[in-house]
């Protein structure tokens, strides 16, 4: 199953830590996380588009929403990976990757 991972940058430790994985199940976005409700509240909010007054809503179009989330979450604190199959996930089971091994766009 294809998914995206949400990583938190921990600069003092020089690591990126997975806090959530998002995937589409049926017609909705599901979140795998130790704190799914926390990340649902933080991540699954409509994302404004370039068109004034228009937003991509996670409930209306999950695939378009996740694509917009990938583009939007490329910051200094949170990073979203590109889509990838679970069997080819670049994030190990531990969910921790050294910062120098991973960049948000190379995943």
Is pLDDT above 50 for 107? no
d(CA 71, CA 76): 14
**Rounded to whole angstroms, what are the CA distances from 18 to 10, 50, 61, 80, 107?**
11, 29, 24, 10, 13
pLDDT value, residue 101 = 56
By DSSP bridging, strand 15-25 and strand 28-32 are antiparallel
Is pLDDT above 50 for 104? no
pLDDT value, residue 105 = 44
Please state the domain extents for the chain. Answer: 2-101
pLDDT value, residue 100 = 74
Its pTM stands at 0.89
Is pLDDT above 60 for 106? no
Q: What is the pLDDT of residues 49-75, one digit of tens each?
A: 999 999 999 999 999 999 999 999 999
CB 88 within 8 A of CB 3: no
Closest CA relative to residue 102, chosen from 8, 16, 22, 3: 16
Mean pLDDT of 68-97: 94
Q: What is the pLDDT of residues 5-34, one digit of tens each?
A: 999 999 999 999 999 999 999 999 999 999
pLDDT value, residue 87 = 93
């Amino acid at each position: 199953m294809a998914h995206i991972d949400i990583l938190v940058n921990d600069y003092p430790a020089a690591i990126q830590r997975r806090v959530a994985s998002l995937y589409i199940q049926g017609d909705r976005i599901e979140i795998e996380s130790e704190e799914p409700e926390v990340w649902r509240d933080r991540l699954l909010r409509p994302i404004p588009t370039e068109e004034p007054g228009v937003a991509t809503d996670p409930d209306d179009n999950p695939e378009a929403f996740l694509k917009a989330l990938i583009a939007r979450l490329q910051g200094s604190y949170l990073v979203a990976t590109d889509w990838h199959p679970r069997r080819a996930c670049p994030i190990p089971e531990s969910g921790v990757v050294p910062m120098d091994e991973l960049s948000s766009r190379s995943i």
